[in-house]
Amino acid sequence: MDVVLLERIESLGQMGEVVSVKNGYARNYLLPQGKAQRATSANLASFEERRVELEARNLVRRTEAQGVSTSMADATFVVIRQAGESGQLYGSVQARDVVEGLDGAGFKIDRNQVVLNRPIKTLGLHPVQINLHPEVHVDVIANVARSEAEAERQAAGEDVLADDEDDDLDLHLGQAYEDEDDDDAGDDEEASGAADDEVGDDDGGDDDAGDNGEDA
């Protein structure tokens, strides 16, 4: 389907351009959202009559978006999720979670403004692109952690997963030392038992000597 764009659409073109798109994309997104019109003679003529108005409206919206982007740039929000020792989430962080996180940080956006090519599935600090306007984009940071305390540590630059690995190593080494101590204790007991047996044998020799004396 040929459509005339009423605003800039990334990967498609600028306002006023006539482009060819799939019918489903046009019917389900571009036309209902008011981002394009069918490229009929009547619509093209109507667009030319309204071009100045549409461009002025776009300029206002872009200026507003740029103002918001200045305050939103590098904004951080925390998402608490359960995860394994490897950092893999039991679930994922999706666009709706970004909307809720930014809402908690004081920014109102729509779900369709979140650019998240795939859900977030690991702990850490993840940049997420927000489209405030077709020509204005800003990155925010999703701080995905298992607790508020862990989120604070991640924000300070700590690698919480490395700490988990250190704890596992300490636990492993501690167990190894305990096992070694147990082995040493066992060896000492065996040595002590052997010494007692030798002493017992010596006593037996003295008894034999005593028996020989009586016989004499």
Q: What is the pLDDT of residues 46-88, one digit of tens each?
A: 999 999 999 999 999 999 999 999 999 989 999 999 999 999 9
What are 132-157's pLDDT values in tens digits? 999 999 999 999 999 999 999 999 99
CA angle 75, 81, 84 (to 5 degrees): 125
Region of poorest pLDDT, from 11-15, 20-24, 138-142, 200-204: 200-204
- If one compares 146 and 175, the residue with the highest pLDDT of the two is 146
The pTM of the full predicted model, rounded to 2 decimals, is 0.69
Element (H, E) at 142: strand 136-145
DSSP assignment of 80-105 equals E--B-TTSEEEEEE-HHHHHHHHHHT
Give bridge partners of residue 141 from the DSSP assignment: 76, 127
Q: Could you tell me the pLDDT band of residue 10, with boundaries at 50, 70 and 90?
A: confident
- If one compares 78 and 174, the residue with the highest pLDDT of the two is 78
How many Cα atoms are found within 13 Å in the side-chain-facing hemisphere of 133? 16
